[in-house]
Amino acid sequence: MTKKILAVYPGSFDPPTKGHLDIIIRASHLFPKIIIAVTKNINKKHIFSLQERIDLLQKITEKLKNVKISSFSGLLANYLENINSFVLIRGLRVLSDFEYEFQMALMNRKLNKKIETIFLMTDQSYTFLSSSMVKEIAMLGGNIKNFVPECVEKELKKRVANLSKSN
Residues shown for the chain: 167
Catalytic-role residue among 18, 20, 90, 135: 20
Q: Is 149 in the site for ligand PNS (CB under 6 A)?
A: no
Choose which of 11, 15, 19, 149 interacts with ligand PNS (CB under 6 A).
11
| Count of residues in contact with ligand PNS, rule CB under 6 A | 11
Answer yes or no: 90 catalytic: no
If you compute the radius of gyration of the chain from its CA atoms, what whole number of angstroms results? 16
Angle between helix axes 50-60 and 150-166 (nearest 10 degrees) is 150
The rounded distance, in Å, linking the Cα atoms of 161 and 105 is: 37
Answer yes or no: 130 catalytic: no
Tell me the per-residue interface mask from 100 to 129 with ligand PNS, x by CB under 6 A, - otherwise: ----x--xx---------------------
Answer yes or no: 131 catalytic: yes
Q: Taking CB under 6 A as the criterion, which residues in 31-70 touch ligand PNS?
A: 39, 41, 44
Answer yes or no: 125 catalytic: no
- Cβ-based neighbours of 35, under 8 Å, separated by 6 or more: 6, 7, 8, 9, 67, 68, 69, 70, 83, 85
Query: Residues interacting with ligand PNS, by CB under 6 A?
Result: 10-12, 39, 41, 44, 75-76, 104, 107-108
